[in-house]
Amino acid sequence: MSTVINSIPPAAMPLRFAPPIGGVAGTSFKPEHLPAILDGGARRGFFEVHAENYMGAGGPPHRALEAIRRDHPLSLHGVCMSIGGPRPLDKAHLARFRALVARYQPALVSEHLAWSTHETSFFNDLLPLPYTEATLACVCDHIDQVQEAIRRPLLLENPSTYVAFRESSMRETDFIRAVAERTGCGLLLDVNNVFVSATNHGYAALDYLRDFPLAQVEEIHLAGHAEQADDEGDLLLIDSHDGPVVDAVWKLYEIVISRRGAVPTLIEWDSKIPDWPVLQAEAAAAQAILDRHQSAAPAGDRHAA
């Protein structure tokens, strides 16, 4: 544990911007990989953790994260803020989130365009929302509150979806662009989510990427997904994070990087956790693509995919 963390209570620590980490590939941090990571010493890349796993005051989770943080940048990824929910944000949850940002000074901080609460109930799922002017106003208000609390831009992640709302009055890409313009937040582009949603709803992933505001993308997620059949027997993809990135998603990723330029890219793998060398190999594949495009300039959001 560092001297700063020992001597200053997390809630009282100053909020600062961490230095940018550039076009590097990282992985989800899983405690079972800690010995292998520490044995390997400092390396190029970063680690991402789910904020809600570290909202206790101390104990083994924090000791492991502090060990990782000494040599590597962190990405803090929230999963329970319910940015898209109609109810006010949970003030206690937001305070714990802010304390984590202060404690670990992550290079990247992100949340989902989704909702996960109803009254006093919390769900494990990241649920979709209707893309309407009323929802837009609510989402922007919530992001403003989070950014005021953490005193830095939040990165908003596009969702994977399995249903759509009839009352939606705008496309998802237009909704996300409007959120970024109104709040000044950055974007986290999950390429696997794009592929999953496009397959489930019957549109082209490339069309979605053509309309996406790539200039605001500051982080990318890659992950595996599972294949199922829906009630009619049609293919249904589930954003399961339990396997390697598939070839189609790798191809979409290279298209994005060729247009946006190299930005931090995370390999998400949250269940059926493989041995550390397997996860390293996935990150190395992403890094190879990033390195090929390190000199590429941001292309903005007007280029055809």
Q: Which residue has the higher pLDDT, 229 or 203?
A: 203
pTM over 0.85: yes
**What is the pLDDT, as a whole number, of residue 234?**
78
Domain presence at residue 131: yes
Cβ atoms of 101 and 14 closer than 8 Å: no
Q: Is the pLDDT of residue 13 over 60?
A: no
pLDDT over threshold 80, residue 118: no
Percent of the chain with pLDDT over 90: 72
pLDDT at 18: 65
What pLDDT, on the 0 to 100 scale, is given for residue 299? 47
Q: What is the pLDDT of residue 161?
A: 84
Q: What is the CATH number of the domain that holds 39?
A: 3.20.20.150
Task: Please report whether residue 299 resides in a domain.
Answer: no
Using CB atoms within 10 Å of the CB of residue 35, give its burial: 0 to 12 exposed, 13 to 18 middle, 19+ buried.
exposed
Mean of pLDDT over the chain: 88
In the numeric block, the tokens 């924090």 are attached to: 62
Q: How do residues 81-99 score in pLDDT, each as one tens digit?
A: 999 988 999 999 999 999 9
- Give the per-residue pLDDT at 8: 39
Average of per-residue pLDDT across 211-232: 91
Range in 30-44, 45-59, 132-146, 287-301 the model is least confident about: 287-301
CA distance 217 to 66: 28
pLDDT reading at 19 higher than 80: no
CB within 8 Å of 215: residues ≥ 6 apart: 260, 298, 299, 300, 301
Number of domains in the chain: 1
Alpha-carbon distance 182 to 177, whole Å?
Answer: 9
CA distance 174 to 9: 41
Q: pLDDT at residue 210 above 50?
A: yes
Q: Encode pLDDT of 147-169 as tens digits.
A: 999 999 999 999 998 888 899 99
pLDDT (mean) for 95-122: 87
Distance CA 115, CA 2 (A): 35
Range of the domain at 55: 3-13+22-292
Does the pLDDT at position 226 exceed 60? yes
Q: How confident is the model at residue 125 (pLDDT cuts 50, 70, 90)?
A: low
For residue 77, is pLDDT > 50?
A: yes
> In the prediction, which pLDDT does 122 show?
60
Counts for the chain of helices (H) and strands (E), in that order: 10, 12
Q: Please indicate, yes or no, if residue 298 is contained in any of the structural domains.
A: no
Q: Does the pLDDT value for residue 230 go beyond 80?
A: no
pLDDT of residue 270: 92
Task: Choose between 212 and 2: higher pLDDT.
Answer: 212
Q: Place 9 in a pLDDT band, splitting at 50, 70 and 90.
A: very low
As to burial, measured by CB atoms within 10 angstroms (0-12 exposed, 13-18 middle, 19+ buried), residue 235 is exposed
Give dist(CA 169, CA 160) in Å, integer: 19
Q: How far apart (Å, rounded) are the C-alpha atoms in residues 236 and 58?
A: 40
Q: Is residue 161 part of a domain?
A: yes
241 or 26: whose pLDDT is higher? 26
Q: Is the pLDDT of residue 282 over 70?
A: yes
Q: Is residue 304 part of a domain?
A: no
120: number of CA atoms within 13 Å, CB side? 0
